[in-house]
Amino acid sequence: MDDIPLASLSLTHVHYNPADRISYLCAWLALVPQGLCVVYATLIWSNREIEICLMFAGQMACEALNWCLKRLIKEERPREMHGKGYGMPSSHAQFVTFFSITLTFFLLFRHVPHPTETHTPLTFAQRFLLSILALISAAAVAASRIYLTYHTPKQVLVGCAAGAIFAIFWFAFTTYLRRSGLVEWGLETTISRLFRVRDLVVQEDLVDSGWARWEERRARRGLKNGFVVQGKKSK
């Protein structure tokens, strides 16, 4: 057993030039897909929103497509690359492109938040700026794969194209599921009720979830302790 060489967990193993600050930044950008998976898992567990579940399902399907394309095309990575596996198309580029475009479609075409007594949702212009930021961030991650020599420009561009095409397909598919009533039907199934899956984020901001109930609790607690909501003691 002592003679067996140790292996490297390539999931977070990134090669970069320690003397190059841009290379160091690119190494951090390489961890964005893993970070987004943590965000997905956290939001699904804490909010149980069907829209987020559908988006994550599409993200995983996009990853499966990338896995198939790499083994179908079988194009090697650049010679400078020390890693393993095929390089066409770039999985990082495909991942972040799908995420950013799907998020953009949601924010601009599906998300219609209504204002409440305690919260004013983002305007369309603000959601548009957020979408631009998401697309720029995805472009930065894709470009980092070229800078670190993990992929050729062609491999990154094909990855972006595959992610964009699949994002359009997935948004159209989920739109069909909603308009056909299949999402509403699925929410009424026993397993959805068991896990408390809901569909509020289309018309409600995530940051507003439960806030009205919290404000009511604060008001009741303040009155009980002899304080008004603003924190001033009542006479």
- Give one DSSP letter per residue of the chain, joined into a string: -TTSPPP--TTS-----TT-HHHHHHHHHTTHHHHHHHHHHHHHHHH-BHHHHHHHHHHHHHHHHHHHHHHHH-PPPPTT--S-S--SS-HHHHHHHHHHHHHHHIIIII--PPP-SS--PPPHHHHHHHHHHHHHHHHHHHHHHHHTTSS-HHHHHHHHHHHHHHHHHHHHHHHHHHHTTHHHHHHTSHHHHHTT-B--TTTS-GGGTTHHHHHHHHHHHHHHTTB-TTSPBP-
Contact call for residues 148 and 79 (beta carbons, < 8 A): no
Q: Read off the pLDDT band of 209 (50, 70, 90).
A: low
**Structure-model confidence comparison of residues 70 and 227, the more confident one:** 70
Kindly state the tokens that stand for 53: 């579940």
Q: How far apart are CA 198 and CA 187, in angstroms?
A: 7
pLDDT, one tens digit per residue, over 170-205 is 999 999 999 999 999 998 999 988 989 888 888 877
pLDDT, one tens digit per residue, over 27-71 is 898 899 999 999 999 989 988 899 999 999 999 999 999 999 999
Q: Read off the pLDDT band of 235 (50, 70, 90).
A: very low
Q: Say whether pLDDT at 82 is over 80.
A: no
The residues near 145 (Cβ < 8 Å, ≥ 6 apart) are 30, 90, 92, 93, 151, 155, 156
pLDDT, one tens digit per residue, over 148-157 is 888 889 999 9
Q: Read off the pLDDT band of 234 (50, 70, 90).
A: very low
Contact call for residues 150 and 85 (beta carbons, < 8 A): no
Give me the pLDDT at residue 150, please: 85
Q: Read off the pLDDT band of 24 (50, 70, 90).
A: confident
Strand partners, 198: 49
**Structure-model confidence comparison of residues 176 and 23, the more confident one:** 176
Give me the pLDDT at residue 228, please: 53
